[in-house]
Amino acid sequence: MLYGLILLRQSPLVPLLVLVPALLVFLLKRKAMRKDHELRPAADEAARKMRYVEERGWDLKAGKDIRMYGLGGWLLSILKRERETGETNVRRWENGYLAANLCDALLCFVRDAGAYLYFILQIVQGSLPVSDFVWYISVVSSCQQACSAFLENVELLGRLSFDYSRLRLFLESGEGDIFQGTGAEECEKIPPEESGKTGAGAERGGRKAVPDSAAFSRTKEAVGIELEHVSFTYPGSRVPTLKDLNLTIRPGEKIALVGLNGAGKSTLVKLLCGLYRPTSGTIRVGGRPISSFGKEEYFSMIAAVFQDVKLLPLTIAQNVASDNGEDIDRQRVRQCLSLAGLWEMVDGLPQKEDTPLGRGVLDDGIDLSGGERQKVWMARAFYKEAPILILDEPTAALDPLAEQEIYEKYVQMSEGRTSLFISHRLASTRFCDRIVLLENGRITEQGSHEELMEKNGAYAGLFEVQGKYYRKEESGKTEAGGNTAEWNQAMKMGGVQA
């Protein structure tokens, strides 16, 4: 302001000579910023697709399909197309900023040249002392810097306002955090085992013996779960996935949730885990709505094993304990690995439970099979002190022998916990107190295995369909093919009577 008043003493043209170029540059940058905001979502989408294709190219699991079906060229064409789309959009808004910067440089030259010319003419005409020339030039420069700084701050506020408006729209869309409570006291943890304690997990002959899984204990009490008129519809869909569910799970009860693909089982699991918000209705845990919990408090109450198992490039112990620090109870880790049926394999590794996972990330890392990865997650569920246990197809990647072993340990694993067991293999339901059949997003049947078989409804039909693949044909072969003795053994392990 002061600089402008000083320049006004000479002529109104001098402040305009400073202000007009700054305003023109501001308007050009504003236009470029609008173009940036308009094109950036498309560029971000192209970048996401590129990252996805690149990840699939590095994925060892996808390598077999890519090679066998000749998908490499197709993926490269997608990568090239999305790169061109992203680069085109980036180039368009960057060209706007480039034009604004070039105009800024040109107008600065015009401004300085005009100021020099004006004050030189004033000196020639004798209206300006030579001693004041340098002072006025410095005033022009300072005024220009002040104007540019002010307009740049205005531009920055515009950018921040745009970003904030997007964040506000997201928060107001109802897709934010389901948890609104501040949380209660921290869930108690089992005290670490006393150092030097002997037992089945102690060293024997220089080799760790299989830990005594019976020594594993829990301290948290089971809680009940209530679903009151719960419905859920995925965004963009008009058909609800879950429709008016009403279900009460008593504390410590073992529930089997069964149904065909698309029935809504995994969606219900995500609702119970607090990962999705019900479209309508209320879910109560321990008599409290989920929304009244703090996030950390609620997540500490649930131990879940999902179908899609993802392990981090950490050691086996760190993956089991979900802890990257020094507070890992190693004896407890070994007990949990034993319960999950993985300790024998881990004990044979040179670094045992300190063996890192992820050969593609760590030089000394190892890659586990699908069944072994699922067992690590089972061990993690054992390790976590959670009153609610959720198993979503925990035996999907296991062979019949390992599956039977997990079924037997499931009873021990769920002791004192409220547990929900989701499986397509109906033989597993006999280990549960109650079976809930989900069809087209609704609960159509519930009861014990014997009750549902007597009812001769949808559950009985599904059970018979699965059971027929294990029954002998008159020729001595099963309907599914293979050796009769082997299939009879599989029938017994799956809990299906021939």
Q: What is the pLDDT of residues 281-328, one digit of tens each?
A: 999 998 888 888 888 888 888 888 877 777 778 888 888 888 766 778
Could you report the per-residue pLDDT of 316-334, keeping only the tens digit for each? 888 888 876 677 888 888 8
Most confident of 3-12, 53-62, 212-221: 53-62
Extract long-range pairs of 241-248: CB within 8 Å, 24+ residues apart: 241/267, 241/441, 242/267, 242/268, 242/271, 242/441, 243/440, 243/441, 243/442, 244/281, 244/442, 245/281, 245/441, 245/442, 245/443, 246/443, 247/436, 247/443, 247/446, 248/224
Which two structure tokens, joined as six digits, stand for 142?
């300072």
What value does the mean pLDDT take over residues 247-258? 89
By mean pLDDT, which of 79-83, 162-166, 388-392 is the weakest? 162-166
Query: Which residue has better confidence, 112 or 248?
Result: 248
Beta strands 388-392 and 302-305, pairing class = parallel
pLDDT for residue 178: 67
CB 494 within 8 A of CB 425: yes
On the question of a common fold for 2-172 and 225-311+368-494, the answer reads: no
pLDDT at residue 469 greater than cutoff 70: no
Please tell us whether the domain made up of 225-311+368-494 is placed in CATH 1.10.8.50: no
Is the CB of residue 79 less than 8 Å from the CB of residue 53? yes
When pLDDT is cut at 50, 70 and 90, the band that residue 228 belongs to is: very high
Distance between CA atoms of 240 and 62, rounded to whole angstroms? 32
Q: What is the pLDDT of residue 204?
A: 36
Radius of gyration of the chain (CA): 34
> Domain residues of the chain, as ranges?
2-172, 225-311+368-494
If one counts every other C-beta atom within 10 angstroms of the C-beta of residue 34, the result is 14
pLDDT at position 458 over 60: yes
Q: Give the pLDDT of residue 328.
A: 81
Reported confidence tier of residue 396, pLDDT bands at 50, 70, 90: low
Strand partners, 207: 204
CATH superfamily placement of domain 2-172:
ABC transporter type 1, transmembrane domain (1.20.1560.10)
Region 36-43: mean pLDDT is 82
pLDDT band at 229 (very low <50, low <70, confident <90, very high): very high
Instruction: Give CA–CA dist 210/229, Å, rounded.
Output: 47
**Spatial contact of 329 and 192, defined as CB atoms under 8 Å apart:** yes
- Helix (H/G/I), strand (E/B), else coil: 284: strand
